[in-house]
Amino acid sequence: MTRIACVQANVLFGDSEANAEKAIHDLEVLKQQGVELAIFPEAFLTGYCVESTEEAKNISIAKNSEAIHVLHQASIRLDMIVVAGFAEAADEGLYNTAVLLEPGKEPRFYRKSHLPELGLDKFVCQGHGALEVFETRIGKIGILICFDMRFPEASRVLALKGAELLILPTNWPDGAQVTADYIAVARAAENRIYVATCDRVGEENGFKFIGKSKIIDPRGTVLASAGGIEEMIIADVDLAFAREKRVVTIPGKYETETLKARRPDLYTELTRDLSG
């Protein structure tokens, strides 16, 4: 079993180093509780609610920033895996990014692929490249960010690539309750994988965030859930369970295959470009 946690927290807008220090304090608390993987929200290190490209640039940090460096050092010192979101400043533009920090490995990154017309996402580039499953010491992890989960294809691709745990740092504002309460549960059940969603709380530049972080097992059972305040939720997960894609309800009479029963020949419409 692996103990994981979602840290549902408020964020200090535009102060990445202070947010990193806050995260380190939380990691020290979680270490005492035996947590091996800790997840923080989307744009946790930087904040999210901006109204212009200039504001987005002002809060963005590079992959090699001091905030990420000190968080990585803390993950090494505490021997924990950490996932946290931030607004990324890269040479080619801005991105909404999550970093995966694991002792003994260089930081790894995922850039948000699907962008709503909201906050930071109005001023960043789409993530490019294949959806990646990260090999870690606890198992195979896929990362999506917030609005990415609204597209079932993204979660399914990660499941087909072997993801056992899908991590979703998110900034769900008021109005996203359906995603928090139902869509996240559906993604776990339809792919037979664990899903951990980590939202933020509080208000930022006129937006209020709803919380409702969850850790969900491959049957769609909610193992731990949060309300609308700062809190940490913890659950023990057996990632080997996510590799069991055949569901036996009545042996020999009622059995289903989550992935092998798919009909890709019927799904070609999924790849049709609607942008024109």
**Over the stretch 73-119, which tens digit does the pLDDT of each residue have?**
999 999 999 999 999 999 999 999 999 999 999 999 999 999 999 99
φ/ψ of 207, rounded to 5, equals: -105, 140
Cα 23 from Cα 76, distance rounded (Å): 14
Residue keyed to tokens 């055949």: 246
Decide if pLDDT at 154 tops 80. yes
pLDDT of residue 247: 83
pLDDT for 167-181, tens place per residue?
A: 999 999 999 999 999
What's the whole-number mean pLDDT along residues 43-69?
97
What's the whole-number mean pLDDT along residues 193-197?
98
Q: Which amino acid does the sequence have at 211? A: G
Which stretch of DSSP H or E encloses residue 78?
helix 66-78
Cα 155 from Cα 114, distance rounded (Å): 12
Cα 2 from Cα 120, distance rounded (Å): 33
Domain ranges of the chain: 2-271
Output the six-digit token pair for 265.
């020949």
Residues 6+ apart with CB under 8 A from 206: 49
pTM as predicted? 0.95
Question: What sign does the CA torsion over 132, 133, 134, 135 have?
Answer: negative
pLDDT of residue 248: 81
Cα 65 from Cα 247, distance rounded (Å): 45
Decide if pLDDT at 126 tops 90. yes
How many residues can be counted in the chain? 276
The catalytic residue positions are: 42, 112, 146
pLDDT of residue 253: 85
Looking at the domain 2-271, which fold is it? Nitrilase/N-carbamoyl-D-aminoacid amidohydrolase (3.60.110)
What is the CB-side half-sphere exposure of residue 152 using CA atoms within 13 A?
A: 11
* Average pLDDT, rounded, for the chain: 96
Question: What sign does the CA torsion over 48, 274, 150, 163 have?
Answer: negative
Checking 203-207 for CB contacts under 8 A at 24+ apart, the result is 204/11, 204/13, 204/47, 204/48, 204/49, 205/13, 205/49, 205/50, 205/51, 206/49, 207/48, 207/49, 207/119, 207/173
Cα 2 from Cα 227, distance rounded (Å): 23
pLDDT for 211-266, tens place per residue?
A: 999 999 999 999 999 999 999 999 999 999 999 988 888 988 888 888 998 999 99
Percent of the chain with pLDDT over 70: 100
Secondary structure of the chain: what % helix, strand, coil (to 5)? 30, 30, 40
pLDDT of residue 276: 67
